[in-house]
Amino acid sequence: VTRWLDDREQSAWRALLAMNARLLARLNRQLQDTCGLSIADYEILVALTDVGERSLRMGELGQMVEWEKSRLSKQVTRMAARGLVVRRDCDDDRRVAYVDLTDAGRAAIESAAPAHVALVRHLVFDALDDQQVDALADIAATVLGRLDLDQDEEAAAPAGIRPGG
């Protein structure tokens, strides 16, 4: 006997999905139109500037953005072709590849960030009060915690019929 979502849950769930989809589409369009960057480009550039160095191993970068490694590899190839980043070999361990932010890459993120942040503020934070911002952070942290737990179970369990209960 399946326990379906009740009306409150269903409407919250659908609103969340709709918000996600439309918010990302809107942010992506704005970045694309104003700077020729995609959200994916932006994410990589942020990861690269976030850490003090302008340089990260593919593996580290992959952990930060949480993408499939092949997706990251291809994204970096495209960004390198556009001159936003450059690949560099590691001398200590020839298996690892570093990704360096170029000056052009830094310039791109610096010119894109203000309008992007302004839009995020306009669409999200200007519309929410402090309590809602805290609630949002709590909710997201809670769900992320569940996702982590679930992943651990999966690693431990013998590939059973989850999720049953």
Partner DNA sequence: GAAGATTGACTAGTCAATCTTC
Give the residues lining the site for DNA (CB under 7 A): 25, 29, 32, 38, 40, 57-59, 62, 67-78, 87, 92-97
CB of 159 vs DNA, minimal distance in Å: 14
CB atoms within 10 A of CB 157: 10
CB of 92 vs DNA, minimal distance in Å: 7
Taking CB within 5 to 8 Å according to partner kind, which of a copy of itself, DNA, none is near residue 150? Answer: a copy of itself
* Phi, psi at 4, each rounded to 5°: -70, 170
The label of the residue with tokens 């679930």 reads 150
Taking CB within 5 to 8 Å according to partner kind, which of DNA, a copy of itself, none is near residue 88? Answer: none
Taking CB within 5 to 8 Å according to partner kind, which of DNA, a copy of itself, none is near residue 144? Answer: a copy of itself
- Our finding on whether 142 is near a copy of itself (CB under 8 A) is yes
Taking CB within 5 to 8 Å according to partner kind, which of a copy of itself, DNA, none is near residue 97? Answer: DNA
- Our finding on whether 24 is near a copy of itself (CB under 8 A) is yes
The secondary structure of 14-77 as a DSSP string is HHHHHHHHHHHHHHHHHHHHHHS--HHHHHHHHHHHHSSSSEEEHHHHHHHHT--HHHHHHHHH
- Our finding on whether 111 is near a copy of itself (CB under 8 A) is no
Q: What is the rounded distance in angstroms from the CA atom of residue 34 to the CA atom of residue 120?
A: 15
Q: What is the rounded distance in angstroms from the CA atom of residue 21 to the CA atom of residue 23?
A: 6
- Our finding on whether 139 is near a copy of itself (CB under 8 A) is yes
Q: What is the rounded distance in angstroms from the CA atom of residue 22 to the CA atom of residue 119?
A: 13
Nearer to DNA, 22 or 121 (CB): 22
